[in-house]
Structures are given as structure tokens and as C-alpha cells.
């Protein structure tokens, strides 16, 4: 028979844990909502820039004789050079399978590459993983806090990768993070970042370009890449909180079930004790 | 006769600042001010820091501060993509001054780890805000 006092203690401690996980669930829910709003708000900018780059690059890049500063953005670098990967994970734990999923996606993505890789890492948990797996880490953005959502931090990350790419240290750059689809759907991805894939074929109706195509792309392309990093970070944080909310909800539910089972055992043990006490008293009285 | 309206959208990485019908827009292009009316030809332009003036369909004017970015006119929709923008009336002069001061400090701090280019951009944004808010 389980000890009554032990059972009572366990019920209390499970109850305490439940309170904590419920609080964390609520915090994650509010934060998730905030980041989701931000992600939705910044989506149009990212989309418009993407459209603009695609529209302009098909016209300009095919023009091979234009002296384009950004032409190398559209070409794969020295194929013997390593590939860079921006690897975005979380800085904090207790967020379910979030980090494991990105890690798995990263491993799968790296297997498709034939070159050496250099990682650009965001998030403490991602860094832990990278050092355990003995990947070469080119940069670890330790101070970057995606929760602050500062555009200039995204700019710094983007610049770092872009300069390595343009100097020929990297042949290509990929991004590995998590895409936020909805409160209950967030999927890891591994996709190309550099070179930019210019769409095939002729551009539709040639627009007026002010001042001219080359200068426009010069300014547009870096901003486009920065925005992609910014949006990737924002989506990563949003997914992290969605994942944490889900994990904490499961934990709270599990704690509730456990408490119910424990209470049942506790009551049974209590009744058994009373029954046996009564039996003892009755048999004692009969003996008299 | 009232001028025909077209759609103006001002979008920054953080939010859509404006989305509505207007009859005329003047904004600072890379090589000078550009004006756009309805049915303007398809165009992509660079913008620099400055004031973007809008004539609304109700015939009143309002003004935004925009910073370096891009403007695209296509199918009677003018899309202005900018790093940051705000309605001139909502500029917080205090904040702009502080931002300018901070940017200047960072530029002076030769050994600091701050990105000089970013600081310069921030300074020019802050100064432009200050200038337009005082007007």
C-alpha cells in the first residue's frame, strides 16, 4: 500500500509544476500573439521587395555587358569554396521539439551538399548543437536577441554573410530556420540565400527606371537580403513561441492527468486505512 | 474637375503606414523630386531621405518623412518601400534629437564596435525628422 503521506506530497508537487507550466503557457501565448502581429505586419514589405528584385533582375542580369556591381550576387562563387549556412535556433529551452526539428533539417540539408560548410549561428541552443556536431562555426551572433526585432541586427548578420560570399570565401549561402504558418503549424526549412536566383525569361513590360537599373539593383539587392534575414529571424521567434506554447499546454494537461490518478490512489489508500481501523476496533470489541 | 485618384501604399519593415486613395504624390527621388499622378507610366525609382507630400482625394495635403528606399508605380498603385517612415505630425522631436545625439556619439567613437555606415544612416534619418518636425 502506497504511503498516504508520500501520495499527498506528490499531489502537491505535481500541482505546483502544473501552475508553473500553465503560467509559462500563458506567457508564451501572449508573446506569440505579439510576434505573430509583427510577422504579419512585416510580410508586405518582404513580399514587395521580393517581387521588385525578381522583376528587375530578370531584365538587368541577362544584360551581360552592363557593369553591375551586384552581378556576383546572382552567380555561384568558386565551387571549391565552402558553403555557408545561416542556422537559426532558439536561445532558450522548454520549447518542445522546436530545436530538434531545425537540427534535423540542417543535417538533412548539409548531406545534400558536396562542399565543406561554415555555419553562421543564431541562438544558444543552435550553438550547442553546432559545437557538438563539430561543424565549423564561422560566426556566432551571441548578442543577437531576436525578440528585440531590431532591423539593424538583421543588417549586421546579412552583411557578415554577404561579405564572405562576395570575397569568394563562400561559394553559396543557405538559410536553415523555421517557417511560421499558423499557431499550430511551423515547419523547418533549408533554402538558398545566395546567389539570388533570377527568374528565367524576359521581363514583362519594361518599367521606367530612376535613375537606372544598375544603381537600383545596387541598393535593392543588399536591402532585399537584409529583409530576408530580418523576416527569417522574426518567423523563427514566432515559431519558437508557438512551439513553446504547445509544449507547455501538453505539460499542463499531463500534470492534470497525473494529479487525477494520484488523487484516486490517495483516496483508495485513505479508505483502506479507515476500513482496516474499523475492522481492528470491531474485532477488539468482540474480544472483550 | 477633380483629378483621378490612384492607390498609395507606404510600407516599412514594421508596418503598413498608409494604404489609401490619393490624387497626387511628390517624393524625393535619388536625382531630385519626383511627382506622380494617376496613370503614371510603370516606374521603379530610388528614394532618399526627405518629405513625401500627399494630396488626398479630399483635397487636403499631408506629409510623411521617408528614408532611403524604393518607389514603384505599377497599374495605378504607387508602392513606397522604406526603411522607416512616419507622419510628420506624429514625429517625436525629443526622440529624434536623442537619436541624432546617439548616432553622433557612435560616429565619434572610433574604436567602438558600431557599424559606422549604420550610424551615418541613423544620423541622417534623425536629422531629417528633426528638420521636418520643426518646420
Which ranges constitute the DSSP H helices of chain A? 4-61, 98-111, 124-132, 151-166, 213-287
Please report the domains of chain B, with CATH numbers, ordered by start residue: 6-88 (2.60.15.10), 91-134 (1.20.5)
- Give residue A169's pLDDT band: very low, low, confident or very high (50, 70, 90): confident
In tens, the pLDDT along A234-263 reads: 999 999 999 999 999 999 999 999 999 999
Beta strands in chain B (DSSP E): 6-11, 16-29, 32-37, 43-47, 50-56, 61-66, 69-74, 77-82, 85-87
- Give residue A77's pLDDT band: very low, low, confident or very high (50, 70, 90): confident
Contact A209 B31 (CB under 8 A): no
Q: From the CB of residue B59, how many other CB atoms can be counted at a distance below 10 Å?
A: 9
Q: Could you say which DSSP state residue B89 is in?
A: G
ipTM over 0.85: no
Cα–Cα distance measured from residue A227 to residue A243, given in angstroms and rounded to the nearest whole number: 24
Cα–Cα distance measured from residue A104 to residue A188, given in angstroms and rounded to the nearest whole number: 9
Give the closest of B15, B44, B45 to A41, CB-based.
Answer: B15
- Give residue A287's pLDDT band: very low, low, confident or very high (50, 70, 90): confident
**Could you state, in order of their start, the residue ranges of all structural domains in chain A?**
22-199+209-246
Shortest alpha-carbon distance between residue B34 and chain A (Å): 10
Bridge partners of A83, per DSSP, are: A117, A172
CATH dotted code for A22-199+209-246: 3.40.1380.10
Average the pLDDT over A31-36 and give the result: 91
Most A CBs within 10 A among B7, B10, B13, hence the mutation to make, goes to B13
Bridge partners of A137, per DSSP, are: A119
Bridge partners of B64, per DSSP, are: B52, B87
Amino acid at each position: 500500500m502506497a504511503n498516504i503521506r508520500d501520495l499527498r506530497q506528490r499531489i502537491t508537487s505535481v500541482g505546483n509544476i502544473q501552475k508553473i507550466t500553465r503560467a509559462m503557457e500563458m506567457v508564451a501565448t501572449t508573446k506569440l500573439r505579439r510576434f505573430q502581429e509583427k510577422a504579419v505586419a512585416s510580410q508586405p514589405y518582404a513580399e514587395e521587395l521580393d517581387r521588385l528584385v525578381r522583376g528587375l533582375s530578370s531584365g538587368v542580369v541577362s544584360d551581360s555587358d552592363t557593369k553591375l556591381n551586384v552581378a556576383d550576387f546572382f552567380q555561384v562563387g568558386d565551387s571549391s569554396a565552402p558553403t555557408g549556412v545561416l542556422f537559426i535556433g532558439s536561445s532558450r529551452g522548454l520549447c518542445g521539439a522546436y530545436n530538434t526539428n531545425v537540427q534535423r533539417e540542417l543535417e538533412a540539408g548539409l548531406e545534400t551538399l558536396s562542399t565543406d560548410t561554415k555555419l553562421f549561428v543564431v541562438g544558444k541552443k543552435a550553438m550547442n548543437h553546432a559545437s557538438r556536431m563539430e561543424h565549423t562555426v564561422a560566426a556566432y551572433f551571441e548578442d543577437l536577441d531576436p525578440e528585440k526585432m531590431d532591423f539593424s541586427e538583421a543588417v549586421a548578420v546579412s552583411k557578415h554573410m554577404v561579405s564572405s560570399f562576395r570575397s569568394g570565401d563562400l561559394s553559396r549561402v543557405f538559410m536553415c530556420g523555421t517557417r511560421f504558418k499558423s499557431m499550430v503549424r511551423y515547419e523547418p526549412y533549408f533554402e538558398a540565400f545566395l546567389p539570388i536566383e533570377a527568374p528565367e525569361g524576359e521581363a514583362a513590360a519594361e518599367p521606367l527606371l530612376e535613375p537606372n537599373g544598375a544603381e537600383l539593383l545596387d541598393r535593392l539587392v543588399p536591402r532585399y537580403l537584409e529583409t530576408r534575414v530580418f523576416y527569417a529571424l522574426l518567423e523563427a521567434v514566432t515559431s519558437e513561441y508557438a512551439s513553446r506554447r504547445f509544449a507547455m499546454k501538453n505539460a499542463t494537461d499531463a500534470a492534470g492527468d497525473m494529479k487525477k490518478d494520484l488523487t484516486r490512489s490517495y483516496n483508495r489508500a485513505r479508505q483502506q486505512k479507515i476500513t482496516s481501523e474499523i475492522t481492528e476496533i470491531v474485532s477488539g470489541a468482540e474480544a472483550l | 474637375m477633380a483629378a483621378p485618384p490612384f492607390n498609395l501604399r507606404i510600407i516599412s519593415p514594421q508596418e503598413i503606414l498608409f494604404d489609401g486613395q490619393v490624387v497626387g504624390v511628390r517624393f524625393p527621388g535619388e536625382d531630385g523630386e519626383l511627382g506622380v499622378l494617376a496613370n503614371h507610366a510603370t516606374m521603379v525609382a530610388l528614394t532618399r531621405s526627405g518629405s513625401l507630400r500627399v494630396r488626398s482625394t479630399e483635397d487636403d495635403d499631408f506629409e510623411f518623412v521617408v528614408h532611403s528606399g524604393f518607389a514603384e508605380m505599377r497599374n495605378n498603385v504607387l508602392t513606397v518601400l522604406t526603411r522607416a517612415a512616419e507622419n510628420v505630425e506624429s514625429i517625436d522631436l525629443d526622440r529624434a534629437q536623442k537619436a541624432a545625439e546617439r548616432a553622433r556619439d557612435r560616429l565619434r567613437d572610433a574604436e567602438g564596435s558600431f557599424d559606422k555606415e549604420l550610424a551615418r544612416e541613423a544620423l541622417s534619418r534623425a536629422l531629417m525628422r528633426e528638420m521636418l518636425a520643426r518646420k
